[in-house]
């Protein structure tokens, strides 16, 4: 990230996002969409390789996170609002379409964007996030996935999740990363950065509103959930939050998709095996 550029970008959706950019300004745009509880900082291991390969990397702090705007109210965090942000960000950087790489909640945004606005997505790479329709079906019938998703229901409570994650100087938030990753994946300094970002005014509540909106302010369904753009799903099999069957079930909702499984990686695969993930992602995005 030594050559990264940072700026705030005002969007037509009425908010401004903090954006990290790297790579040649005339290169193909590669939009990176992070998940919970990260930010653009979560892409630190991949921005360099993507930019070096000639891609113009555009990595925002999504709405509610870190240095981006944090509109009030649960309704501001409906999934379609973030899809609007992604499309507006492409407009703001002068791109009709982009190659999209996404993880966790960013993956939900990317799936919806590719299904609802396929003209904006050239190629799609997803890291450990199931297609929203596949996830909904699995939650309706699978006790194991319901058990793994316990925290989603906890996050629906008012105030208590914020207090819990802030306790003891953010120790519980650090635990979110440590409990779901290989030992040593995250340094103390890296976790300090996430805790500092979550401590910004309204940040943690805004981040949790993504989960609350999914239950209480569900986004309208796109005309079709089918994803027709070329898609690669890179899946850390040791993910403790998502059953591994969802990788194949997500691919089944695509016209052109493949699943690459990393048997020893988990939810934080791009931090646990950054070189392998970078190679897999570039192979697909540059095809």
Residue-wise pLDDT tens digits, 201-232 = 999 999 999 999 999 888 889 999 999 999 99
- Number of C-beta neighbours around residue 219 at 10 A: 18
User: Among 97, 99, 134, 137, which Cα is nearest to 117's?
Assistant: 97
Query: What integer best gives the mean pLDDT of the chain?
Result: 96
Told to judge if 168 belongs to the known catalytic residues of this protein, a careful annotator would answer no
Rounded to an integer, the average pLDDT of 56-60 is 98
- Residues whose CB falls within 8 Å of the CB of residue 202, separated by 6 or more in sequence, listed in order: 64, 70, 72
Catalytic site residue from 18, 131, 209, 267: 267
Find the catalytic residue in 80, 85, 104, 197.
104
Rounded distance between C-alpha atoms, residue 189 and residue 195, angstroms: 10
Radius of gyration in angstroms for the set of CA atoms belonging to the chain, rounded to a whole number: 17
Residue 241 has pLDDT above 50, yes or no: yes
pLDDT tens digits, residue range 169-203?
Answer: 999 999 999 999 999 999 999 999 999 999 999 99
Q: Which residues sit opposite 258 in a β-bridge?
A: 232
Question: Is the separation of the CB atoms in 122 and 97 below 8 Å?
Answer: yes
At residue 164, the pLDDT reads: 96
pLDDT computed for residue 1 by the predictor: 44
Predicted TM-score (pTM) of this structure = 0.97
pLDDT for the residue 178: 96
The whole-number average pLDDT for the span 133-151 is: 95
Strand partners, 208: none
pLDDT more than 70, % of the chain: 99
Reply yes or no on whether 267 is catalytic: yes
Catalytic residue of the set 211, 239, 270, 284? 211
Question: Tell me, what DSSP letter sits at residue 118?
Answer: G
pLDDT (0 to 100) of residue 219? 85
């Amino acid at each position: 990230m030594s050559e990264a550029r940072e700026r705030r970008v005002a969007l037509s959706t009425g908010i401004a996002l903090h954006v990290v950019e790297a790579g040649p300004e005339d290169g193909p745009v590669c939009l990176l969409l992070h998940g919970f509880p990260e930010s653009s900082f979560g892409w630190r291991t991949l921005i360099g390789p993507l930019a070096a390969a000639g891609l113009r990397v555009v990595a925002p702090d999504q709405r509610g996170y870190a240095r981006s705007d944090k509109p009030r109210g649960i309704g501001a965090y409906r999934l379609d609002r973030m899809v609007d942000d992604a499309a507006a960000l492409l407009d703001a950087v002068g791109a009709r379409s982009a190659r999209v790489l996404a993880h966790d909640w960013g993956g939900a945004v990317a799936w919806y964007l590719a299904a609802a606005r396929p003209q904006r997505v050239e190629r799609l790479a997803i890291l450990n996030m199931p297609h929203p329709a596949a996830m909904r079906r699995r939650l309706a019938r699978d006790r194991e996935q319901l058990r793994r998703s316990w925290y989603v229901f906890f996050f629906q409570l008012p105030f208590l999740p914020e207090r819990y994650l802030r306790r003891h100087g953010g120790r519980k938030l650090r635990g979110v990363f440590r409990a779901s990753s290989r030992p040593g994946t995250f340094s103390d300094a890296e976790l300090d950065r996430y805790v500092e970002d979550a401590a910004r005014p309204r940040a943690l509540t805004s981040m949790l509103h993504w989960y609350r909106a999914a239950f209480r302010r569900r986004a309208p369904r796109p005309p079709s959930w089918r994803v027709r753009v070329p898609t690669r799903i890179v899946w850390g099999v040791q993910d403790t939050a998502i059953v591994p069957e969802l990788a194949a079930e997500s691919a089944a909702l695509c016209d052109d998709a493949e699943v690459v499984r990393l048997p020893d990686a988990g939810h934080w695969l791009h931090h646990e095996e950054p070189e392998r993930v970078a190679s897999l992602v570039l192979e697909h995005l540059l095809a």
